[in-house]
Amino acid sequence: MKISIYPTTDDMSKAAADLVAVQLAEKPTSLIVFPSGESPSGMLKYLVEYAKEDKADFSQCTIIGLDEWVGMDERDYGSCKHYLHTNFFNHLDLDPERVVMFDAKAEDLEGECERINTFIAEHGGLDMMIVGIGMNGHLGLNEPGTPFDLYAHLSELAPITVEVGQKYFKQTTALTQGITLGLKHLSEAKMAVLIASGEKKATIIADSLQGHISPDVPASILQNIAQARILLDKGAASKLEHVS
């Protein structure tokens, strides 16, 4: 893995957007996973600007949604789909068939996992998978204890995920399960990208990138991924040792 540290969150966000733009220039038909949440907001803002300035062409790529709260879709404020549509898709001229996301309201959620797994496999695997990191080290909704060898799956949400997740909703919302791409997808992606900012993430970043590798800290899998790119602002990197 390669760790890059930037002076500000904005610098980190721009660097992440630049990685995506380069990927699209090198392979316009790329299969790219995008997350929702606070971490990618700056990156997505830059990518929308790049698209409008013809610095990034999304017309031939396929976008995969990282995860979703079970029982929600794009009509639910606070859902991952709502976030990505509002902050990204609605600002781009995208072919809807090139956006592939979980149907978290499906009757057969296990079937949804298989649908996404099959789609990725049949399209040659992921070219780039971008993730943020939770306060407990989760990537996507791969909570502590998730085996490293899982593809898409259902997850029981950890209490801290339920607590922190409330910030995305206008009112207290019951969250119990998630549906998510797996850590096996991350390890097999041609480029795995972690973005994180703020001192509140510093402890879990240090534990993940320089601590013991264990499913108890899902993000520690990044230490085993040679093609991983870690993009941090100074706050998030502040507890790392011997990294400049």
Picking from 138, 158, 101, 128, the residue whose alpha carbon sits closest to that of residue 27 is 128
Give the separation between CA 26 and CA 56, rounded to whole angstroms: 11
Q: Is 138 assigned a catalytic role?
A: yes
Of 67, 68, 112, 207, the active-site residue reads 67
Would you call 157 helix, strand, or coil by DSSP?
A: coil
Of 68, 143, 207, 233, the active-site residue reads 143
Of 82, 85, 138, 153, the active-site residue reads 138
List all residues 6 or more positions away from 55 whose beta carbon is below 8 Å from its beta carbon.
Answer: 21, 49
Of 136, 142, 153, 185, the active-site residue reads 136
Picking from 7, 90, 82, 81, the residue whose alpha carbon sits closest to that of residue 45 is 90
Q: Is 54 assigned a catalytic role?
A: no
Q: Is 90 assigned a catalytic role?
A: no
Q: Is 143 assigned a catalytic role?
A: yes
Residues 17, 22, 25: CA angle, nearest 5 degrees: 125
CB 160 within 8 A of CB 135: yes
Residue with tokens 């002076």: 7
Estimate the crossing angle of helix 41-52 against helix 80-87, to 10 degrees.
40
Q: What positions carry a catalytic annotation? A: 67, 136, 138, 143
